[in-house]
Chains A and B, each alone.
Chain A
Amino acid sequence: EPEVTQTPSHQVTQMGQEVILRCVPISNHLYFYWYRQILGQKVEFLVSFYNNEISEKSEIFDDQFSVERPDGSNFTLKIRSTKLEDSAMYFCASRERGGRDEQYFGPGTRLTVT
């Protein structure tokens, strides 16, 4: 069964460093999302991406964040200058056009900022 994959599974970085989180969505899906979950808290929407552009973003997704689909298969989330409060689990999700509108989630990347 097709699935969303994410790399790395765990990333440790120092405050102020740039990180890139990578996702490979399901191949026939057209909508892509990033969510984050701070430990023990609920899942929060960051950004959605469709047709090579951001379709919606939350107030969390400020100028320090960016997304890209560089090569037609990968979908990346970049944090330019990480802060301690960026420590969280980051989930990528994708969905196909139409259908049940169900989003399929990847296994997540645990980001730890020290």
Chain B
Amino acid sequence: ELKVEQNPLFLSMQEGKNYTIYCNYSTTSDRLYWYRQDPGKSLESLFVLLSNGAVKQEGRLMASLDTKARLSTLHITAAVHDLSATYFCAGNTGTASKLTFGTGTRLQVTL
């Protein structure tokens, strides 16, 4: 059974700083996903990583995947307050492609 772990659980960072969120998973996952969730809101898809070595970037966020290490990272460059949210990684398994989510990382960007 796929297990997904994220760290840190909570991250407080100053505007302008860089940081990385880590996502480890236990068994083979077909894809690795990153979602953003604002308080009380739904899940917004950020990235879908399809293969080993995949790197995707959108604005100040960059996600990468290392399937051999079973590790994905979400790197934040020069954080701004608007990035404050909870970030989830998820892997998918099974023929129905159900998602197994990590615990989430609550990111707070302070001025």
Contact = CB atoms under 8 A, between A and B. Distances in A.
Interface of A: 31, 33, 35, 42-45, 48, 50, 55-56, 58, 91, 93, 95, 100-108
A33 B30 contact: no
**For the complex of A and B, 6 pairs with smallest distance between CB atoms:** A48-B96, A55-B96, A43-B101, A105-B43, A56-B96, A45-B98
B103 to A, nearest CB: 5
Contacts of B41: 107-108
Contacts of B102: 42
A76 to B, nearest CB: 18
Nearest to B50: A100
Interface string B33-71: 101000001111100101000000000000000000000
B33 A102 contact: yes
Given A55-B95, A101-B92, A102-B48, A42 B42 contact: no
A94 to B, nearest CB: 11
Nearest to B104: A42
A45 B45 contact: no
A33 B98 contact: yes
Contacts of A104: 45
B45 A102 contact: yes
Contacts of A100: 31, 48, 50
Given A42-B101, A42-B103, A31 B96 contact: yes
B96 A43 contact: no
B97 interface: yes
Contacts of B96: 31, 33, 48, 50, 55-56
Interface string B20-38: 0000000000110101000
Interface in B58-105: 88, 90, 92, 94-104
Given A50-B96, A101-B97, A103-B97, 11 more contacts: A31-B97, A48-B97, A56-B98, A91-B43, A100-B31, A101-B48, A103-B33, A103-B45, A105-B44, A105-B45, A108-B41
16 contacts: A33-B96, A42-B88, A42-B102, A42-B103, A44-B101, A56-B94, A56-B98, A58-B98, A91-B42, A100-B48, A101-B30, A101-B92, A102-B48, A103-B97, A103-B99, A108-B42
